[in-house]
A and B are shown apart, each in its own frame.
Chain A
Amino acid sequence: MWFTLDNLATAHDTHEGAAHSSTGLSNVKLGMWLFLGTECLLFGGLISTYMLYRGRVGTGPRPSQVFDIPFTSVSSFVLLMSSLTMVLAVSAAHKRDDRSTNLWLVITALLGATFVGGQVYEFTAFYNEGMGFSTSLFSSSFFVLTGFHGVHVTVGIIMLLALRGMLKNNKVPGSRAETVEMIGLYWHFVDIVWIIIFTLIYLIPA
């Protein structure tokens, strides 16, 4: 399989920024996809920990007692739609349409912020129902997993806003469309992790 790599240099899709690479592919994009591959093992470990411990609630509440499926469904939907707006930002960037790129980036960030806001609300509600971080193995593994995901979304939001500022001031080093695309890849990844979390953690009861 790797050996197809040797013949890629002539492939049709020579991106900007990849003109002289052995595979014809961009360094940044290769690095980003590899990074996302490694992130699978990170989230996989956290999800497995949760799976192992989801039934171990001690004296605390059980998952089905605290989860608010309608609420989480809405916030999941919001995050899913932010993937649409993100992909529109990327496609606008490829068309060099700065105005639309800016707009979609901001909307994506807002949707992401809505999701994180929802998570903060959810955590507070759980806490008030007697489910603190160290209440049970279930609660700790739940908070670590979803918290990690939340941190990923937050980092994404910061990157989106920073990117927008840098685009405006013409301060993006390297290829602009590619930079938007890379942050897009990260953003979508965070979304697909949530697709898994939503099903495995919320919809399938312990």
Chain B
Amino acid sequence: MNTTAAPESHATEHGLSTAGYVRIALILAAITGLEVSTYYVDFGRLFLPALLIMMVIKFVMVVSYFMHLKFDNKVFSWLFYTGLILAVGVYCAALATFKFFG
């Protein structure tokens, strides 16, 4: 679907085409719709895991496609995800000492 790629430019070689970006945005919009629907429809026991999974999917999609991390050099992923994982790790541990998770 790389119809709009400019022939002389190497810049798009590791990105998506405009249509590709729009498609990602549509998926993101659909997930958001699903997320919001949990407010109206009772998801029962699935409520929490479903919301968290959708959040992670959206997060990863924006990072991978809109921020090009999927196509870019691994070093960038490494730097960013180090910060992210460290943050999740230390803050969850701290919250756990407050008995936040149960």
Q: How far is the CB of A146 from chain B (nearest CB, A)?
A: 17
Chain A residues contacting B67 (CB-CB under 8 Å) are 184-185, 188-189
Identity of the chain B residue whose Cβ is nearest the Cβ of A186 in the assembled complex = B67
A52-70 near B? 1/0 per residue, CB < 8 Å = 1000000000000000011
Whether, in the assembled complex, B9 has its beta carbon less than 8 Å from a beta carbon of chain A, the answer is: yes
Q: How far is the CB of B4 from chain A (nearest CB, A)?
A: 8
The listed residue (B14, B35, B88) touching A44 by CB distance below 8 A is B88
Interface residues on chain B, number (Cβ under 8 Å): 52
Which residues 133-169 of A sit at the B interface, judged by CB distance below 8 A? none
The listed residue (B48, B62, B76) touching A33 by CB distance below 8 A is B76
Q: How far is the CB of B41 from chain A (nearest CB, A)?
A: 12
Which residues 55-78 of B sit at the A interface, judged by CB distance below 8 A? 55, 58-59, 62-63, 65-67, 72-76, 78
Known contacts A8-B75, A34-B79: A195-B48 contact under CB 8 Å: no
Q: How far is the CB of A174 from chain B (nearest CB, A)?
A: 15
A96 touches B72 (CB 8 A): no
- Among A23, A25, A73, A195, the most chain B Cβ lie within 10 Å of the Cβ of A195
Q: A residues engaging B (CB < 8 A)?
A: 1, 4-5, 8, 11, 13, 23, 25, 29-30, 33-34, 36-41, 43-45, 47-48, 51-52, 69-70, 73, 76-77, 80-81, 83-84, 86-88, 91, 94-96, 177, 184-185, 188-189, 191-192, 195-196, 198-200, 203-204
